[in-house]
Amino acid sequence: MYVDPDYAEPNLDEIARLIAAHPFATLVTDEPELRIAHVPVQVRDTDDGLQLVAHVAGLDPFADSIRQGARILVSVVGPSVYVSPAWYASRGLPTYNFVAIEVRGTAVPLNDPDAVRAHLMRLVQDHEQALNPGDPKARWRVDEWARDRTTELLPELQAFTLRADQVTAKVKLGQNRTEADRLGTMAALHDSPRTDHQTVECLMRARYDDHGGKA
């Protein structure tokens, strides 16, 4: 992925946060042939850097690549919005504001049943918390039946870990526009009823001050 220097995000903590907020990813490998899978990923910050944990169906051809320790590219596409020039204070052309992240590394099969079960339980907890961040009582919890059923399904999954040896993040949020243009964009996104617009607005508000300058 080509990244203009203006849009590069070097902060691994911010990259990990963005992946955690948008965890559904596309996995790509060409070992032994071109294969693609679409799965949710967990991101972990370890002493060795960024690590991802995920799983695919054991019958998926992608599982064979994992078992062979293939190189994998993990593509995470975050929120994206069309930006209208009507929102600008100066002249401009239509564009998109968006987040795109690529993580590369070698798959390490995760075969220990307890470790796979722990991965699945944490995956559920992460998603339930994101679904109901302010109301813990509304979150679905794993009961005895669900735990037993998960144990039954473990042989049908192929989990893996991936330690990132290359991370590329493109966070395009109006860095090439004037302060007034960014203010206009944030105001338009704020007034929109669309949740994707509001999500991108929040990302922009975190980067720019009340005048549209870099915070």
Give the containing element (helix H, strand E) for 109: strand 95-110
The domains of the chain, with CATH numbers, are 5-112+156-206 (2.30.110.10)
pLDDT band at 152 (very low <50, low <70, confident <90, very high): very high
pTM of the model: 0.93
pLDDT band at 129 (very low <50, low <70, confident <90, very high): very high
Query: Does the pLDDT at position 21 exceed 90?
Result: yes
Q: Which long-range contacts (CB under 8 A, 24 or more apart) does 196-199 make?
A: 196/79, 196/80, 196/81, 197/81, 199/79
What angle is formed at CA 14 by the lines to CA 135 and CA 84, rounded to 5 degrees? 90
pLDDT band at 204 (very low <50, low <70, confident <90, very high): very high
> What share of the chain in percent tops pLDDT 70?
100
Backbone angles phi, psi at 103, to 5 degrees: -125, 130
The arithmetic mean of pLDDT across residues 180-201, rounded, is: 97
Per-residue pLDDT tens over the stretch 34-69: 999 999 999 987 878 899 999 999 999 999 999 999
Per-residue pLDDT tens over the stretch 80-121: 999 999 999 999 999 999 999 999 999 999 999 999 999 999
CA distance 187 to 163: 39
